[in-house]
Each structure stands twice: as structure tokens, then as C-alpha cells.
């Protein structure tokens, strides 16, 4: 019975997402087109004439009114076709899918590592609030947070690649391993993964560590913890059984919220480490005004945002009996 109610709510949410998606795509289409420039105007080259640009604009359908362009795009999407890139002529879906593996590898591994590091770090910092350990963690996480990514990435390349020769400078798969076996290729990719991963993790641990620290401090001040203490429960049991359980809850929200970020990629990291991910695809598409690619990535990430929130809500209901989904 409970499951049926849940299903009904999920269905309702999905249905409500349809007009939401329509609104998101329409708005982003309009905003994108309000920005000056178009894919043709970006060529400022004296060898290219105005006539050629006008013809190209017409070929790409950019001379049509905006609303008509939007509905042409929408019609295409409803038929399961995301269109082709203005710049490369490649199908948008293909362009996105070929970037996905590298993006997911980097984002999932960094998320997992950040969670594994920050949860215990935050927990102990909060529990030993004001201790030397807490202060040290605070200082180091803030240093990590304050270092600009592009600078950290370059320093890591100079140190670990140029000077120590431990890792390759940049890239994803060594071109020389093109014909090698799966294990050799996987090894090469992992080898290339280390530096960008390290860069992201150093920059990323501060926020969540602080988050967990405050979380655990709040929980430890709750009445039920005080009551448990009064009942003489050992500190060990108190922390692992009572406090951690509640502190773990926000991870669900974080995971739900980070779902779209997982496929978004990081432009700066990808740029420095020549990582073939979505961040480069998206940002370059914005620079060159490659509208079909921009719309494709927006469609994809907004779907994931909606999905991520829904999943987080459902999982919450499962793990925390205090929360229930309302079907209002």
C-alpha cells in the first residue's frame, strides 16, 4: 500500500516535470540567444565576406524568428533527435556520449574520494571541537579551498610530472597504447587520472568537512544525545550508533544535488589536464555559439537535476521514517 502511494507520487512528480522542462528549455533558449553573437559572426576574418556569412546563417536556420527556431528544435527533440552541432556537423547525442565516460570517471571518483575523506574528518573535527586536531584540519581545508584550481593544477604538473616524472603531464589515454590490451589501457587511464583527481580533491574537501563538522556539533548538542550520555552509554557507542546515523542523512541530499554536477565536468580541470570531458564541450560550445550542443547539455543536466531531487526525496523517505512525501 505504501509502495503504491509512493509510485503515485513519483508519477505525479514526473508529470509535473514536463511543463518544468518545457519552461527550462524555452527560457535557456531565449537567454542564450539574447547574448550577442551567433555561430557565424564569430568568424572575423577579412577573407570571409558578409554574403558568405548571410548564406551560412540561412543554411543553419538562424534567419528565422526565434520562436520558430525554438519550436523547430523542440519538435526535433520530441522525435528523439537532438540535432547536429553547427560547428562540426556531428550529432549532438554522439558528441555528448563520447565525452561522458571520461567525465563520469573523474567526477565519480573525486566525489567518492571527497566523501570518504571529509566524513571522518568532519566527524572528528566536530567531536574534538577546539582541539589542535580541529584547528589543523580547519587551516588545511581552508588552504585547499583558497588555492585557485588552475594554479594548483599547474604546480602539480610541474612537480609530479616535469620534475618527479611520476605521472604524465596531461591527457586521458596514452596514444601509444592504442592497440594495447584492456588492462594496459585501464592502467594508462588511471595513471592519467591521478593529477586531475588530486587537484579536485584538494580543492573540494574544505566545504564538506566544514559541513559535517557543524552537523555533528549540532547533533551532539541535541537532547537525545544528552539523555543517552546521562544513561551512561559509552562515548564510542554514542558516536557510532546515535550521532553518525543522523549525520549521514545530509549525504543523500548532497548526492542528489551533485548528480547533474557529475556529468557537467569541470572546464578548468579539463582544460589544464587536456581531459576529454563535458566541461570542455560545454564551454567551447558557448564560446562558439554552437546552439544545438548548448541546448543538448542543458536538456541533459536539467533532466538530471529534476531526477536527482526526486531520487533524494524518495531515499529520504526510506531511510528516515520522520519524513514523508506529501502528494500535495
Partner 1 sequence: MNKYYYWVLVMGLSALMGCSSSVNKSTDILQMRLGGEPSVLNPILSTDVPSSEVGGLIFDGLFHVNSDLQLEANLITTYNVSEDHLVYTFSLKPDVKWHDGHPFTSEDVVFTFNKILDPSTNTVRRSNYIINQKPILFEATGPLEVTVSLPQPFSPFLLHMGMGILPKHLLEGVDINTATFNRQPVGLGPFKFHSWHSSQFVRLKRNEDYHRGEVRVAEIIQKIIPDQNTALVSLERGEIDRAGIPAKDVPRYRDQPELDIYEYYDLVYTYLGFNLKHPIFSNTQIRQAIAYALDRQIMIDSVLKGMGQEAHLPSSPLLWSYPEDDRIKKYAYNPEKSRAILAQEGFVLNAKTGMLEKEGVPFKFTIITNKGNKDREKICQLIQQFLKEVGIHVDIQLMEWSAFLKVVNAYKDPKEYDAVVLGWSLGLDPDLYAIWHSSQYPRGFNFIGYQNPQVDRLIEQGRQALQQSTRREIYAQAYQAITQDAGYVFLYIPQSIVGMNKRVKGLSKPGPAGLMNRIEEIYLVE
Give the binding site for partner 1 (CB under 8 A): 35-37, 40-53, 55-56, 59-60, 84, 87-91, 95, 98-99, 102, 151, 154-155, 157-159, 161-165, 168-176, 178, 271-277, 280-281, 284, 289
CA dihedral 108→109→111→114, nearest 10 degrees, is 180
Question: Cβ(131)–Cβ(219) under 8 Å?
Answer: no
C-alpha cell at 117: 575523506
Q: How far is the CB of 30 from partner 1 (least distance, A)?
A: 17
Q: Cα(59)–Cα(57) distance, rounded to whole angstroms?
A: 5
Q: Which is nearer to partner 1, 29 or 271 (CB)?
A: 271
For partner 1, the closer CB: 37 or 120: 37
In whole angstroms, how close is the CB of 80 to partner 1 at the nearest point?
17
> Which grid coordinates are listed for 34?
539574447
Question: Of 69 and 309, which has the nearer Cβ to partner 1?
Answer: 69
Min separation Cβ 13 and partner 1, Å = 35
- For residues 216 and 290, which CB has a smaller minimum distance to partner 1 in the complex? 290
Torsion of CA 296, 302, 303, 307, to 10 degrees: 160
CB of 107 to partner 1, least distance (A): 16
Q: In the complex with partner 1, which residue's Cβ is closer, 53 or 244?
A: 53
CA 17/CA 27 separation, integer angstroms:
15
Taking alpha carbons only, the member of 245, 227, 229, 224 closest to residue 123 is: 245
CB of 36 to partner 1, least distance (A): 4
Residue of 244, 232, 229 whose CA lies nearest to 122: 244
Give 32 or 311: the residue with its C-beta nearer to partner 1. Answer: 32
Instruction: Give, in order, the Cα–Cα distances in Å from 168 to each of 173, 194, 200, 273, 276.
Output: 10, 9, 17, 10, 15
CB of 98 to partner 1, least distance (A): 5
Amino acid at each position: 500500500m505504501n509502495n503504491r502511494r509512493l509510485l503515485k507520487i513519483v508519477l505525479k512528480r514526473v508529470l509535473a516535470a514536463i511543463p518544468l522542462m518545457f519552461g527550462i528549455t524555452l527560457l535557456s533558449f531565449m537567454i542564450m540567444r539574447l547574448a550577442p553573437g551567433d555561430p557565424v559572426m564569430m568568424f572575423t576574418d577579412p577573407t570571409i565576406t558578409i554574403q558568405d556569412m548571410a548564406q551560412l546563417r540561412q543554411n543553419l536556420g538562424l534567419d528565422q524568428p526565434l520562436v520558430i527556431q525554438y519550436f523547430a528544435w523542440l519538435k526535433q527533440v520530441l522525435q528523439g533527435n537532438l540535432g547536429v552541432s553547427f560547428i562540426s556537423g556531428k550529432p549532438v547525442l554522439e558528441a555528448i556520449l563520447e565525452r561522458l565516460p571520461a567525465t563520469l570517471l573523474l567526477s565519480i571518483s573525486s566525489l567518492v574520494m571527497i566523501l570518504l575523506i571529509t566524513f571522518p574528518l568532519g566527524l572528528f573535527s566536530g567531536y574534538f571541537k577546539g582541539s589542535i586536531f580541529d584547528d589543523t584540519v580547519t587551516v588545511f581545508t581552508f588552504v585547499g579551498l583558497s588555492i585557485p584550481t588552475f594554479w594548483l593544477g599547474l604546480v602539480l604538473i610541474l612537480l609530479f610530472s616535469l620534475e618527479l616524472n611520476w605521472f604524465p603531464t596531461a591527457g586521458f589515454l596514452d596514444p601509444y597504447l592504442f592497440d594495447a590490451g584492456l588492462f594496459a589501457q585501464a592502467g594508462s587511464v588511471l595513471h592519467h587520472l591521478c593529477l586531475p583527481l588530486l587537484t579536485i580533491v584538494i580543492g573540494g574537501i574544505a566545504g564538506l568537512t566544514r559541513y559535517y563538522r557543524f552537523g555533528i556539533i549540532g547533533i551532539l548538542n541535541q537532547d537525545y544525545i544528552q539523555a543517552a550520555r546521562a544513561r551512561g552509554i559509552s562515548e564510542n557507542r554514542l558516536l557510532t550508533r546515535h550521532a553518525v546515523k543522523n549525520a549521514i542523512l545530509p549525504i543523500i541530499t548532497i548526492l542528489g544535488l551533485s548528480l547533474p554536477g557529475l556529468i557537467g565536468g569541470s572546464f578548468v580541470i579539463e582544460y589544464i589536464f587536456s581531459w576529454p570531458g563535458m566541461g570542455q564541450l560545454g564551454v567551447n560550445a558557448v564560446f562558439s555559439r554552437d546552439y544545438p550542443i548548448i541546448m543538448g547539455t542543458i536538456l541533459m543536466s536539467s533532466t538530471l537535476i529534476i531526477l536527482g531531487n526526486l531520487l533524494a526525496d524518495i531515499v529520504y523517505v526510506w531511510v528516515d521514517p520522520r519524513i514523508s512525501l506529501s502528494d500535495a
